[in-house]
Amino acid sequence: MRRLRTTALAGATLLLVIWLGLAAWARTAERPSGLGLTSGRLAPCPSTPNCVATEQAAPSQLTAPLPYRGTQQEAQARLTALIRSTPRTTIITEEPGYVAVEFRTPLIGFIDDVEFRFDDTAKVIHFRSTSRLGRSDLGVNRARMEALNRAFAEASASPPTQP
């Protein structure tokens, strides 16, 4: 029985040390320098599988942009309201037609950099979501963007509230 407790304590200690190490590593990552629009487009996805985007990406990284109705300003207001209501997010840049956001994962706090570009001619929002560290994200970026797409579609379908 004593051996079992010692083994369990050693295992728990090891898990704590690993978690603390990963959390410290996640906090040391600096914001990438390539964020922002270049010639009116978002940067291409890196070759790592931890990126999902609507343009300039490998076929396995591509997904559909978010369609919108109304004006770009209305769509951007809806999107930023959704982002602000999402836990562990920080809007880094917000200007007409472009939004950059940091999403932090629960527990360890890995940072994902997400950018949005509004194409008012096509009435879509292009985005690029990539993990700041590592190679794999276990599908977190894609799942987040699919959930955001659904929430944005629901918000767009709801009539605006009157003051």
Positions of the chain with pLDDT under 50: 19, 25-26, 161-163
Q: Provide φ and ψ at 24, rounded to 5°.
A: -65, -40
Query: Quick one: pLDDT at residue 137?
Result: 79
Q: Which two tokens stand for residue 93?
A: 């840049």
Distance CA 73, CA 113 (A): 22
Query: Quick one: pLDDT at residue 16?
Result: 56
Range of the domain at 92: 31-157
Which alpha helices (H) appear in 30-139, and where do they start and end?
Answer: 72-84
Cβ atoms of residues 64 and 135 within 8 Å: no
The CATH number assigned to the domain holding 110 equals: 3.30.310.80
Residue 23 within a domain: no
The β-bridge partners of 66 are 125
Tally of domains within the chain: 1
pTM: 0.80
